[in-house]
Amino acid sequence: MIAGSKTGELELWFVTGSQHLYGPEVIKEVKQHAETIVRGLNESKRIPVSVVHKAVLTTSDAVSRALGEASATDRCIGVIAWMHTFSPAQMWIPGLQELTKPLCHLHTQYNREIPWSTIDMDFMNLNQSAHGGREFEFSATQLGKHRKIIVGHWEEPGVQSDLGAWASVALAHYDAHHGRIARFGDNMRRVAVTEGNKVSARTTFGYAVEGFGVGDLVEYLNAVPDSDIDNTVEEYRNEFSVTPELLPGGERHEALRYAARQELGIRSFLEEGGFTGFTTTFEDLHGLDQLPGLAPQRLMQRGYGFAAEGDWKTAALLRAAKVMEAGRAAGTSFMEDYTYHYQGEESLVLGAHMLEICPSIAGETPRVEIHPLGIGGKSDPVRAVFDGRTGRGRNATLVDLGRRFRMVLNEVDAVPSSEPMPNLPVARILWKPLPSLKTSATAWMLAGGAHHTVYTDTVSREQLLDYARMTGIEAVVIDEQSSVETIEEKLRWNEAYYRFSGS
Ligand code: MN
């Protein structure tokens, strides 16, 4: 379980649509079918929270009561609706209008296959999702209600995985609505894209952004007991390859102990305040000996959101992505497009930051090292250095256009470096942006995408898009199929759409 998350106590509610027309015997059977499906989903272990069957709904009042209760119950992170039989959808309208939780329509049916030799009208009436689902969706469409639609038999692993992926986005949505981002210091001076409207963010995503002086942190650092530092240093030795000069007895061991003090001090500040993410800035380090490097790296590994230079939007997006990884191997980090390697169609981007890249994307055992840092004016900071894993990944950025938020996504292929980089003292990852650097960078910049991103090779593009849909923000995808013209056109259409829709 990731830091500060209450996953174990949370639930998805499953409601089943039917009607009285079929009589009590049929309703009883519908209920048994629904309970079997819910048991199957829970046993699949593909859904990150427990699924609870609430009721077979056959009247407008019952729908309103069930969906009203879902909205009012904190532990309910979302609703899965299934139309077992034909459920006349006028009865769903008041309930859907009031539902505030994420909604997924599981368009499945109890029986996988048609029983060719025995099929009769009773069977048809009991397996009418094809009919009922369409009726339900008409009303959802007419209401403009956002929902996820998952089609397929409930026992198929792919259907269960899709439901699990959506559920983890609902979990991130829940987490954001209970989330708090602590900012130590303000924005990096004069930077535009890392700024934004915190009140709009609260309205759109649910999280609070709260500012603190870095001095507020210093007392937490000072309160860390030596024995805790000893234990954390031991963890570094077990997880990473620590350079000899930083080891106990080494001449720079105190710097490693100070990095451990920063990690533990920041962590106790976050735990005490119920924070789910944080930002730092090298322009405000009063009372700190080093720019935090290893500390944010380790705290990201534990699931905290983080971004540098006061970039709370990226910190919050990283936290959301960390929650979306729910229960799977992690591979998500704060990232920055840093340097290009131009070689025509195969041009590459070297992604890194001054220090703060999450070890969850490492392709090798990270080395803990100490090197000078030209900016910040403090002691040499300790950091974990590694090359990132290769394979398909994606960068996501969130910008505040003033009128609305926009997410920009770019699919990338992380590739090995053809040459070692012995003098580069930071964690880094090399990727080929799709479809090419030329198109990707042009489209990204036309969309106003930031240099700060969330890089992930575990959270899917569909999950990030679901998060955009769930929060009602714009999303623009740059992938193998994209051209500058299609992106330009999409941006123009979106501009009109969002003006028109009043968002
Ligand atoms: Mn930066």
Residue spans of the domains in the chain: they are 7-177, 180-501
Asked if residue 331 lies in contact with residue 457, where contact means CB atoms within 8 angstroms, the answer is yes
CA 421 to chain centroid: 31
Burial of residue 29 (number of CB atoms within 10 Å: 0-12, 13-18, 19+): middle
Cβ neighbors of 361 (< 8 A, separation 6 or more) are 331, 332, 333, 388, 389, 393, 429, 455, 456, 457
Q: How many helices (H) and strands (E) does the chain have?
A: 15, 19
Q: How far does residue 352's CA lie from ligand 1's centre (Å)?
A: 9
Q: How far does residue 242's CA lie from ligand 1's centre (Å)?
A: 25
pLDDT of residue 213: 94
Q: How far does residue 166's CA lie from ligand 1's centre (Å)?
A: 30
Closest CA to 172 of 473, 467, 475, 476: 467
Q: How far does residue 396's CA lie from ligand 1's centre (Å)?
A: 15
List, edge to edge, every strand of the sheet that includes 382-385: 241-242, 367-370, 382-385
Q: How far does residue 281's CA lie from ligand 1's centre (Å)?
A: 9
pLDDT of residue 157: 97
**Which residues, listed in sequence order, are joined to residue 336 by a DSSP beta bridge?**
452
pLDDT of residue 503: 59
Residues in the chain with pLDDT < 50? none
CA 9 – CA 221 distance, rounded (Å):
32
Q: How far does residue 350's CA lie from ligand 1's centre (Å)?
A: 14
Q: How far does residue 56's CA lie from ligand 1's centre (Å)?
A: 52
Q: How far does residue 289's CA lie from ligand 1's centre (Å)?
A: 20
Q: How far does residue 370's CA lie from ligand 1's centre (Å)?
A: 20
Cis? peptide before 416, omega within 30° of 0: no
Asked if residue 201 lies in contact with residue 317, where contact means CB atoms within 8 angstroms, the answer is no
The residue whose two tokens read 């500040």 is 269
* 7-177 has CATH 3.40.50.10940 classification: yes
CA 176 – CA 178 distance, rounded (Å):
5
pLDDT of residue 23: 85
Q: Amino acid identity of 258?
A: Y
Render pLDDT for 355-412 as a digit per residue (tens, 0 to 9).
Answer: 999 999 999 999 999 999 888 788 999 999 999 999 999 999 999 999 999 999 999 9
Closest CA to 336 of 310, 362, 297, 307: 307
Q: How far does residue 299's CA lie from ligand 1's centre (Å)?
A: 18
Whole-prediction pTM:
0.97
Q: How far does residue 336's CA lie from ligand 1's centre (Å)?
A: 6
Q: How far does residue 269's CA lie from ligand 1's centre (Å)?
A: 23
pLDDT of residue 3: 76
Q: How far does residue 184's CA lie from ligand 1's centre (Å)?
A: 15
pLDDT of residue 204: 97
CA 101 – CA 136 distance, rounded (Å):
17
Q: How far does residue 309's CA lie from ligand 1's centre (Å)?
A: 6
**Which residues, listed in sequence order, are joined to residue 105 by a DSSP beta bridge?**
81, 149
- The neighbourhood of ligand 1, an ion, using CB within 5 A, equals 308-309, 336
CA 136 – CA 140 distance, rounded (Å):
6
pLDDT of residue 337: 98
Closest CA to 319 of 281, 291, 279: 279
Q: How far does residue 308's CA lie from ligand 1's centre (Å)?
A: 6
pLDDT of residue 1: 56
**Which residues, listed in sequence order, are joined to residue 182 by a DSSP beta bridge?**
210, 278
Q: How far does residue 453's CA lie from ligand 1's centre (Å)?
A: 9
Q: How far does residue 307's CA lie from ligand 1's centre (Å)?
A: 8
Q: How far does residue 266's CA lie from ligand 1's centre (Å)?
A: 20
